[in-house]
Amino acid sequence: MVILSVDFGRARTGIAICDKSEFLASPVTVIQEKYVPALVEKIAALAAEKQAEMIVVGLPVNMDGSEGESAQNARRFAENLREVSGLPVDMLDERCTTMEAHQFLNATNTRGKKRKAVVDAVSAVIILENYMDKRKSAAKREPS
């Protein structure tokens, strides 16, 4: 299944996608849009262009597991995206994904403006990889 992932942000939103076999997650783009309705439209159009069958949105849960204002904003965003795209939208705890993305960019010596431009897309890839791992684990637990 082709899955599009979204690392929703106030200023920049990272997008990643996986192949039909759910083996490889790749960054697509970073959308710089602060107006949420316009952002939703852009992502829905991108999902259609990429023939995505579902969308996963990162849920910014606090480190203690509670949900604050950012998580509630992400839930509203995901619901709007579901309505506009017509696709199923799931959410995944994204704790530490931005930190992981920065560690990856440190390891690849990506700095400055280039780093700022790609960190959200890398975070979207990490969200998607975690989501694909979750789906694979669930499939292994299901009785045949």
Write the CATH number for 69: 3.30.420.140
Q: Which domain holds residue 94?
A: 3-141
* Residue 50 pLDDT > 80: yes
Mean pLDDT of 71-81: 96
- pLDDT computed for residue 86 by the predictor: 97
Q: How far is CA 98 from CA 3, 51, 78, 82, in A?
A: 20, 27, 19, 24
User: CA 16 to CA 8: how far, in whole Å?
Assistant: 12
- pLDDT computed for residue 128 by the predictor: 95
Per-residue pLDDT band at 67 (split at 50, 70, 90): confident
Please, which residues have CB within 8 angstroms of residue 31's CB and are 6 or more apart in sequence? Answer: 12, 13, 15, 39, 42, 43
Total domains in the chain come to 1
- pLDDT computed for residue 68 by the predictor: 85
pLDDT in tens, 116-137: 667 788 889 999 999 999 998 8
Q: How far is CA 8 from CA 5, 71, 79, in A?
A: 9, 10, 13
The pTM is what? 0.85
- pLDDT computed for residue 142 by the predictor: 72
